[in-house]
Amino acid sequence: MPKVILHVDGITIEQEVKENANLVVLAGIRQFPKLKYGCGMGRCTKCVCQVVNGADTLSAPNWKEEKMLGDKISEGYRLTCQLNIQNDIEISQENITVTSPKKQSSLLSK
């Protein structure tokens, strides 16, 4: 089973998940604690993360991620609601602010 390492709110969570798991779905049913998320459909950017390790094992960003994250994808940003975990991965939701293009035309990060 793949291991997910999540850095969020000053803590690190390590947890094994089933192959092909979606972290937002797991968070929604309280099986993956502390993950920040919103709509689960790639529209709100509340679940944005930066991939620290394991980006090469993820599928390419889909059109929703490209639309919502734009150039931030090249900096390793992804929407966790659009990821299916196949292999070990390390992600961070520390100090990240990305504004949806619907609310603001430019994307920001701290």
Query: Please, which residues have CB within 8 angstroms of residue 95's CB and are 6 or more apart in sequence?
Result: 110
Mean pLDDT, range 73-102, rounded to an integer: 89
Looking at the chain, the whole-number percentage of residues with pLDDT higher than 90 is 85
CA-based nearest residue to 89, from 9, 21, 10 = 21
For residue 77, pLDDT over 60 is answered with: yes
